[in-house]
């Protein structure tokens, strides 16, 4: 096949034109945008995770503070009642009951299961004390005929429950020695020695169940209690509370923190650890969290006990939260828009480029046969001559003219003539070597450029060209025989420039044509 010729402009620029660079940028930009979207999405997820971690620390601090506030309210209540028990003759049973009702303890402090008072009773005063308690008819018409300190047994002193609000349904609560067992005695002694409200661990109750007990010491009225000796010497009893910790801590977490779980455990005295006992669980029926974050633990020292607050939360997937999803959605939408714009730009560019290529092609090629035209061929010939001169090579130029072509047009019309020209162009292209060039100069004139030829090579090419025309050209039912006249000019013997070679080849062609009969 003959060589396809490059446009002269293609030799001038190796770099792609600006429009091509823009096109490449349009192709790459959506990919870059997708990469940036992915990076922004990941960064937003990490930011959400960091924000969630900071919010978690704030939630923990707020929850610990709230738990402390709730227990402190109950300490204030205990100290208020304890202060009234130290004023004047203290409080009678009916006065204790009236204060309980007046202050609306049941409504304001629903976690107080029982509010109790137990005086210190030396063993020597036990019988007198029991007799006085049985005879007390301030709250019951028949008094308390069955009142007795229990459990039974000889002890140096007793601390029987004398008042209890609300009035218990189990009469055995009255007279129960609140210091007979070691755990009860331990918290009672701490309260006595410190002068502050003290808490027990999780303790079994007389009426059944387990709860945390609060103890606040009651001292002799008017006494000084600034030293340990003074407090022990003037100790007269204790105010006690039975506390429902789950009820007290209910709603510790905000409604928006439903993915959280907090557990409160008692882990022993302030200066001594013991096995953990669960006091409160915000989600006792909940199963394991789907995606738990690292647990957070805090300790709270309250009432002489150490509480461990353990916080668990479902971290979820931070990349599926609103902000990262908004970033991803926005980035994907922008990327899709860029893809659509890039496609539109590419289609527009390809349309324009195709038109430009067609314009350039049409400017340099014959519209009928598709072969290079005279302008293109003359430029190609000039470059071939320059290369041949530099390399000291020979080239040949064949000038071809169709014999009696005017008769074809006159006899059969231009449509048939055009078909003959196209058939001749195709046969010439199929006959020549890969490095040869064929062009149409106009009308029925063709030229063939044969670079790097040796002696006699152009005669063989001319012979192959004539043999290609040995068969008629078919057009419909017509069979048209075509003959050629060929003139040859060789560089450098017959010319060293394009004009001279073309003129010599044209002259040679006319000599050959005159040698043929009409």
Q: What is the pLDDT of residues 293-311, one digit of tens each?
A: 788 999 999 999 999 999 9
pLDDT of residue 392: 93
pLDDT, tens only, 125-169: 999 999 999 999 988 888 899 999 999 999 999 999 999 999 887
Q: Tell me what pLDDT residue 12 has.
A: 42
For residue 290, pLDDT over 90 is answered with no
CA 81 from chain center: how many Å? 57
- The neighbour count for residue 270, using CB atoms within 10 Å, is 12
Please name every residue paired with 164 in a beta bridge, in sequence order, or none if there are none: 116
pLDDT, residue 256, reads 60
Alpha-helical regions (H) of 18-125: 18-85, 93-102, 105-108
Residue 257 has a pLDDT of 64
Closest CA to 70 of 308, 303, 311: 303
Angle at 177 between CA 175 and CA 182, to 5 degrees: 165
Non-local (6+) Cβ contacts of 147 within 8 A are 130, 133, 134, 174, 175
pLDDT digits 0-9 by tens, 373-385: 999 999 999 999 9
**What are the residues whose beta carbons fall under 8 Å from the beta carbon of 373, sequence distance 6 or more?**
364, 365, 366, 439, 440, 441, 442
Residue 504 has pLDDT above 60, yes or no: yes
Q: Count CB-CB contacts under 10 A for residue 103.
A: 15
Q: Rounded CA gap, 444 and 442, in Å? A: 6
Q: Domains, the chain, ranges and CATH?
A: 86-248 (3.30.450.350), 374-514 (3.30.70.270)
What is the pLDDT, as a whole number, of residue 283?
85
| pLDDT value, residue 48 | 83
pLDDT of res. 5: 47
Q: List the beta bridge partners of residue 297.
A: 310
- The average confidence (pLDDT) of the chain is 88
* Residue/partner pairs of 505-508 with CB below 8 Å, 24 or more apart: 505/397, 505/398, 505/399, 505/447, 506/399, 508/399
Mean pLDDT confidence for 351-361: 81
pLDDT of residue 423: 94
Do the beta carbons of residue 270 and residue 302 sit within 8 Å? no
When mean pLDDT is compared across 71-80, 334-343, 439-448, the lowest value belongs to 334-343
């Amino acid at each position: 096949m003959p060589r396809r010729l490059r446009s002269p402009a293609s030799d001038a620029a190796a770099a792609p034109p600006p429009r091509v660079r823009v096109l490449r940028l349009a192709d790459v930009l959506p990919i870059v945008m997708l990469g940036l979207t992915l990076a922004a999405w990941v960064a937003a997820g990490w930011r959400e995770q960091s924000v969630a971690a900071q919010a978690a620390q704030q939630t923990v601090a707020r929850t610990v503070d709230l738990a402390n506030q709730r227990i402190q309210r109950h300490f204030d209540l205990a100290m208020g009642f304890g202060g009234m028990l130290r004023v004047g003759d203290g409080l009678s049973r009916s006065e204790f009951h009236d204060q309980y009702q007046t202050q609306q303890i049941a409504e304001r402090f629903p976690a107080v299961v029982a509010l109790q008072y137990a005086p210190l009773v030396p063993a020597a005063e036990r019988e007198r004390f029991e007799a006085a308690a049985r005879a007390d008819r301030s709250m019951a018409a028949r008094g308390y005929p069955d009142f007795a300190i229990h459990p039974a047994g000889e002890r140096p002193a007793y601390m029987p429950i004398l008042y209890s609000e609300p009035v218990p349904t189990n009469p055995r609560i009255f007279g129960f020695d609140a210091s007979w067992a070691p755990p009860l005695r331990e918290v009672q002694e701490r309260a006595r020695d410190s002068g502050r409200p003290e808490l027990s661990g999780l303790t079994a109750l007389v009426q059944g169940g387990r709860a945390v007990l609060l103890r606040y010491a009651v001292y002799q009225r008017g006494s000084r209690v600034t030293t340990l000796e003074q407090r022990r010497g003037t100790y007269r009893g204790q105010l006690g509370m039975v506390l429902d910790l789950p009820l007290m801590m209910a709603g510790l977490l905000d409604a928006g923190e439903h993915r959280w779980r907090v557990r409160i455990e008692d882990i022993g005295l302030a200066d001594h650890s013991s096995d953990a006992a669960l006091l409160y669980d915000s989600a006792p029926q909940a199963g394991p969290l789907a995606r738990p974050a690292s647990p957070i633990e805090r300790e709270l020292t309250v009432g002489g006990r150490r509480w461990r607050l353990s916080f668990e939360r479902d971290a979820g997937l931070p990349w599926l939260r609103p902000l990262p999803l908004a970033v991803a959605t926005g980035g994907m939408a922008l990327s899709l828009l860029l893809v659509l714009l890039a496609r539109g730009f590419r289609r527009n560019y390809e349309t324009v480029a195709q038109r430009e290529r067609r314009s350039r092609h049409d400017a340099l090629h014959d519209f009928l046969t598709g072969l290079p035209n005279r302008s293109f061929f003359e430029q190609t010939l000039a470059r071939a001559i320059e290369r041949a001169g530099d390399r000291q090579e020979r080239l040949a130029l064949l000038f071809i003219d169709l014999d009696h072509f005017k008769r074809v047009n006159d006899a059969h019309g231009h449509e048939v003539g055009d078909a003959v020209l196209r058939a001749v162009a195709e046969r010439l292209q199929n006959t020549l070597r890969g490095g040869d060039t064929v062009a149409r100069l106009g009308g029925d004139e063709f030229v063939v450029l044969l670079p790097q030829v040796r002696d006699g090579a152009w005669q063989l090419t001319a012979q192959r060209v004539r043999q290609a025309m040995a068969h008629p050209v078919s057009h419909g039912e017509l069979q048209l025989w075509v003959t050629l006249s060929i003139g040859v000019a060789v560089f450098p013997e017959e010319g060293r420039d394009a004009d001279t070679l073309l003129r010599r080849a044209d002259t040679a062609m006319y000599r050959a044509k005159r040698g043929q009969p009409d």
